[in-house]
């Protein structure tokens, strides 16, 4: 709140491997995503403002545990905002991120969890935001712009002609 014109990216969304993520509990918010939520609440930072949560290894760590995954994404959607969650991987350490991307595309927060804890539905629109549109907004990139367009005549000129 002291620097409203500055963006803050919280890597791994403050997730810690030693923490079992559950619903937000302000009385037990010393670690994990709860610590990020509590800090935002304590300092009056509303969702979709200048704090961004990057998933990094977080998604890889929770994607095989649907309850934990629902709590991580649900808390981030509620408190950080659907426009401020960024896809990220530590693919250099864990290999191709494609299985993680596929798991996020297929994942859903079950209706019972949404009803019990007030988590929003994880729609395809929100997933597109997480997987790239939010990062494009943060970095000022137009996702619809054409990049690296090559004129076909230059490609044709460089092609080896059969003899």
- At 159, is the pLDDT very low, low, confident or very high (cuts 50, 70, 90)? confident
- Residues 123-158: pLDDT tens digits? 999 999 999 999 999 999 999 887 776 666 766 777
Q: Is the pLDDT of residue 114 over 90?
A: yes
Q: How many other CB atoms are there within 10 angstroms of residue 130's CB atom?
A: 25
Secondary structure of the chain as H, E, C letters? CCCCCCCEEEHHHHCCCCCCCCCCCHHHCCCHHHHHHHHHHHCCCCCCCCEEEECHHHHHHHCCCHHHHHHHHHHHHHHHCCCCEECCCCHHHHCCCHHHHHHHHHCCCCHHHHHHHCCCCCCHHHHHHHHHHHHHHHHCCCCCCCCCCCCHHHHHHHCCCCC
Regarding predicted confidence, which is higher, 104 or 147?
Answer: 104
pLDDT value for 148: 74
Please provide the average confidence, as pLDDT, over all residues in the chain.
92
pLDDT value for 150: 64
pLDDT value for 160: 74
pLDDT value for 93: 80
pLDDT value for 155: 62
Instruction: Identify whether the C-beta of residue 80 lies closer than 8 Å to the C-beta of residue 47.
Output: yes
């Amino acid at each position: 709140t002291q620097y409203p014109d500055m963006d803050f990216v919280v890597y791994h969304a403050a997730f810690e491997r030693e923490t079992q993520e559950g619903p937000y509990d302000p009385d037990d918010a010393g670690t994990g995503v709860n610590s990020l939520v509590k800090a935002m609440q304590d300092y009056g930072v509303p969702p979709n403002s200048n704090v961004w949560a990057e998933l990094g290894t977080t998604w890889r760590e929770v994607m095989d545990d649907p309850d934990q995954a629902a709590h991580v994404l649900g808390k981030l959607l509620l408190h950080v905002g659907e426009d401020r969650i960024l896809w990220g991987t530590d693919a250099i350490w864990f290999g191709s991120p494609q299985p993680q991307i596929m798991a996020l595309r297929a994942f859903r927060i079950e209706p019972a969890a949404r009803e019990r804890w007030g988590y929003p539905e994880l729609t395809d629109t929100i997933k597109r935001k997480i997987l790239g549109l939010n990062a494009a907004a943060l970095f000022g990139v137009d996702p619809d712009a054409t990049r690296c367009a090559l004129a076909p005549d230059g490609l044709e000129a460089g092609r080896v002609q059969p003899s």
